[in-house]
Structure 1
Amino acid sequence: MICISGIPWKFPRAHCGSGLSVGEPKQVGSCGGSWNGKWNGGFLSKSARQIYRVRAVRTAEGVGEGTSEFSLDWRHLVGEREEAKAVVSQFLRSRGFSASVATRTLKNATLFTAHLLGILHSQHRARYLAGEELGTEEIQGTLLPYLESLAAKYGRGTPEVIVSFPDVPAPWTGGDVLYSITTDSEGQEKVIEINDVIQRFPAFAHYSVDNKIMKVIDYVLGMGCCPTSIPKIIMKRPQLFGCSVEENLRPTARFLESNGVEPEKWAKIMVNFPQILTYSRKKLQLVIDFLLEIGIPPATVGRVLSRFPHLVGYSLEAKLRPMAMYFKLIGIPDFSLVVIRSPQTLGLSLEKNIKCTVEFFLGLGYSIEQVAVLVNRFPQILGLNVENNLLPKWKFFIKMRRKHSELIDFPQYFGYSLEKRIRPRNAILESRGVTWTLNRMLSTTDQGFQTHLDKCDGALAAADQIRHAAKVASEESVVL
């Protein structure tokens, strides 16, 4: 049984005054009060939102309401509109949002941008009546305090507030809000704070429990996810629970299954990367086409996506294709083999991980052909830190006086702990005067290692006995 408790799904709204006239820009999009650089209200009523949309559209078309001597014609404010959008973009970037998030937000923020222009004309009414234009610094000085007030209220949910304006939820101030999951078998309860979810994605507070959230939960459970994984999925991708199961989630899952994703893998995929079901069919197809381009067999594409679903979120032009091109340029043709063996390689940084590792081994005297063999046999080596991992183990390798070719035969050496496995086992072998290959020394379990040691000790003892017997026989023959 899944139980949802304590969620104020219908938040209280602040009722607006009736003065939402475009002819009175002081109140455009506000809740019946002066802006003063801040957003005084929390919400617009349904009727007020409709009025706002109608009049914003009419104003954009240059049709004034005639309620004031001062009406705004947005067609004449192209420069200010771009200035306002630049302020929002820079503000979002300064708050830690990526450039792609800022661009996507502004692309869907037509009403919010018009709203910012209303703020400018409200604050600088006299200037505009006199026919004067505002400078960049004046626009920034007017809009930034307002944007700061939004960020203070909504935090990581600010982009969603901008896109959904004027339909934005008020911050919840009624105490902790809990989401409870109870399982029939054990009666265990998994609790998370929904406040964090709402801060990042305010629209979550308005999802219908019966028509949206519970239907998505039932669908996710049907994919094999356990009830206690639901809170983790909510925290990772709250947008998932606003999607239609029949129109969005199920068709997307079937599309991925048609490309090789195994149904029994969905439970793990959804816990690790629930975002995969919220991407468009076009985006998914582009990623699949890329995998085919680099040589991944069609029958293996689904396995790659199952093991590393995060790759569908990466940019083809900014990340995936440059990585494939780099491997081709340095003479490593089997990039597809690298991806098949370790799909997580696609998530590494080309500059901070891959190039550093390749240059490290080239600097040690290995040829590019040898590096290619090393990477193909152990692709995970590309994700190991040079200074903290590769270099210390390389120095110890030299100390063991082994041939450089041994690392080509067994590059997995770099995947073992230096202090917990490599150094202790090498010390044991040195104390017994034996030398094993890196593979034999490191790849067995502790019990297997001890078994090999016992066999080795038995063989050494037998050899000692043979040598002793031979020595005695030789001495006796001399006496005779």
Structure 2
Amino acid sequence: MCSATATTPFIRLCKPFHSRVPTSFTFNSTRPTFFVRATVVKWRCPNQTLPPNSHTSFQKKALYLESIGIDSFSLIENHPTLITASLDDIKSTVEYITAMDFTAIEFRRMVGMCPEILTTKVSDIIPVFMFLHEEVRVSSSNIKHVINRRPRLIICNVDNQLRPTMYFLQSIGIKDVSKHTNLLSCCVEESFIPRIEYFENIGFSHRDATQMFQTFPQLFCYSIKNNLEPKYNYFVVEMGRDLKEVKKFPQYFSYSLENRIEPRHKRCVEMGVCFPLPLLLKTSEVTFQSRLETFVNSSTPLKTSPLWCAGRDIDQV
């Protein structure tokens, strides 16, 4: 049910969608030169069973997808259940989303990233938009950006996925979830908790670990095996630095080990310089080189000097 306080762009989410004709979507009227056969589908998707007498209906479905610029064969390989989906439901979904001012290019990109969108009914999509707007507080002007950035949000169940994830993020101190909507489609048990436990296992208290994720929520997106672990090992073994630095600057894990962390650390070692992590990693290459030469060619400031902490709060990228 729509909230009485919903803004105008979102009130229309609850209106009948069949009566709306997309204004931002251009259909290709050129008829494909081939007809889709069930035997071809069987070859591309051997594990998918076609319902009886489905040749004609599936052909219409494939032709419709081709008419809006979507490669039906590639899509079916990634999402075989499209074969048995209702053409009317697919059309309704396309019409509903494109009527919200998503362009044809944006829609095709969304489907390419998340084919399940086409088999998600409008009745299941509406609650997602309402949740993002009313509970996560995503503004009307920003809703397209949020969906374009993370199309998978559209296929998530509000009660079983989105709302519990929002509550978890808020429970660890991330109050403004609207800035981190891409995390809402993640699984708390499979993605969030294992990463928090990883930092606890390497020496951080639960409070310190959660504070790192509160400071830098994107930390939840990094693979433990391919990102966190190798960068932690390099930090401790090769750099020999204190974990307190990572606690203050968890963004360390967002930088490339091969292209930034390791080469810059080695240059500092060669010059006999030890920069704070923000100065070491956040600055551009030109600024970093300039700072490195400045420190090497000048006398080392005393710890009581204001210059000792220079660069610790650098915002330059």
Shorter-chain TM band: 0.5 to 0.7
Counterpart CA distance in 1 for 2:214 and 2:99 is 29
Aligned equivalent of 1:232: 74
Task: Structure 1: state its 5+ residue gaps.
Answer: 10-171, 178-192, 465-480
In structure 2, do the counterparts of structure 1 residues 397 and 460 end up closer, same or farther at CA, with 3 Å as the change threshold?
closer
Counterpart CA distance in 1 for 2:289 and 2:63 is 60
1:418 to 249, 252, 257: 257
CA apart distance, 1:294: 2.4
Asked whether 1:302 is paired with 2:151, we answer no
Counterpart CA distance in 1 for 2:168 and 2:275 is 37
Aligned equivalent of 1:336: 178
Contact 2:264 2:280 in 1 (8 A): yes
Asked whether 1:379 is paired with 2:217, we answer yes
CA apart distance, 1:371: 3.7
Q: State the Cα RMSD in Å.
A: 3.7
Residues 358-385 of structure 1, C-alpha deviations (whole Å, 9 max, x = no match): 344466446748845x435643311334
CA apart distance, 1:355: 1.4
Counterpart CA distance in 2 for 1:258 and 1:376 is 36
Q: Is the partner of 1:199 in helix, strand or coil?
A: coil
TM-score by length of 1: 0.46
In structure 2, do the counterparts of structure 1 residues 385 and 242 end up closer, same or farther at CA, with 3 Å as the change threshold?
closer
In structure 2, do the counterparts of structure 1 residues 398 and 406 end up closer, same or farther at CA, with 3 Å as the change threshold?
same
Counterpart CA distance in 2 for 1:355 and 1:291 is 23
2:93 to 227, 246, 252: 252
Counterpart CA distance in 2 for 1:365 and 1:199 is 47
Aligned equivalent of 1:429: 268
Counterpart CA distance in 1 for 2:54 and 2:255 is 47
Contact 1:416 1:422 in 2 (8 A): yes
**Which residues of 2 match residues 43-82 of structure 1 at below 5 A?**
none
Letter in 2 for 1:285: I
**Which residues of 2 match residues 271-290 of structure 1 at below 5 A?**
271-290=112-131
Contact 1:287 1:312 in 2 (8 A): yes
Q: Is the partner of 1:200 in helix, strand or coil?
A: coil
In structure 2, do the counterparts of structure 1 residues 462 and 262 end up closer, same or farther at CA, with 3 Å as the change threshold?
same
Larger RCO (alpha carbons 8 Å, 6+ apart): 2
Q: Is the partner of 1:290 in helix, strand or coil?
A: helix
Contact 1:269 1:309 in 2 (8 A): yes
Identity of aligned residues (%): 24
CA apart distance, 1:268: 0.8
Q: Is the partner of 1:333 in helix, strand or coil?
A: coil
**Which residues of 2 match residues 74-473 of structure 1 at below 5 A?**
177=40, 194-197=42-45, 199-203=47-51, 206-208=55-57, 211-219=60-68, 221=69, 229-237=71-79, 240=82, 247-259=88-100, 261-292=102-133, 293-339=135-181, 343=182, 345-361=183-199, 364-365=203-204, 368=207, 371-372=210-211, 374-375=212-213, 378-386=216-224, 389-399=227-237, 400=239, 402=241, 406-407=245-246, 410-419=249-258, 421-443=260-282, 449=285, 451-452=286-287, 455-456=290-291, 459=294, 463=298
TM-score by length of 2: 0.66
In structure 2, do the counterparts of structure 1 residues 4 and 356 end up closer, same or farther at CA, with 3 Å as the change threshold?
same
Counterpart CA distance in 2 for 1:218 and 1:347 is 30
Contact 1:338 1:376 in 2 (8 A): no
Aligned equivalent of 2:34: 4
Counterpart CA distance in 2 for 1:205 and 1:420 is 53
Mark the structure with the bigger radius of gyration.
Answer: 1
Counterpart CA distance in 2 for 1:305 and 1:402 is 40
Letter in 2 for 1:273: C
Q: Is the partner of 2:45 in helix, strand or coil?
A: helix
Counterpart CA distance in 2 for 1:337 and 1:206 is 46
In structure 2, do the counterparts of structure 1 residues 398 and 260 end up closer, same or farther at CA, with 3 Å as the change threshold?
farther
Counterpart CA distance in 1 for 2:226 and 2:206 is 23
Contact 2:128 2:157 in 1 (8 A): no
Letter in 2 for 1:4: F
CA apart distance, 1:388: 5.3
Letter in 1 for 2:262: R
Counterpart CA distance in 2 for 1:252 and 1:421 is 44
Counterpart CA distance in 1 for 2:297 and 2:72 is 61
Letter in 2 for 1:302: K
Residues 200-258 of structure 1, C-alpha deviations (whole Å, 9 max, x = no match): 24149624576442233112x1xxx5xxx44322323455577777x544543343245
Residues 258-289 of structure 1, C-alpha deviations (whole Å, 9 max, x = no match): 55645541121121223313322210011122
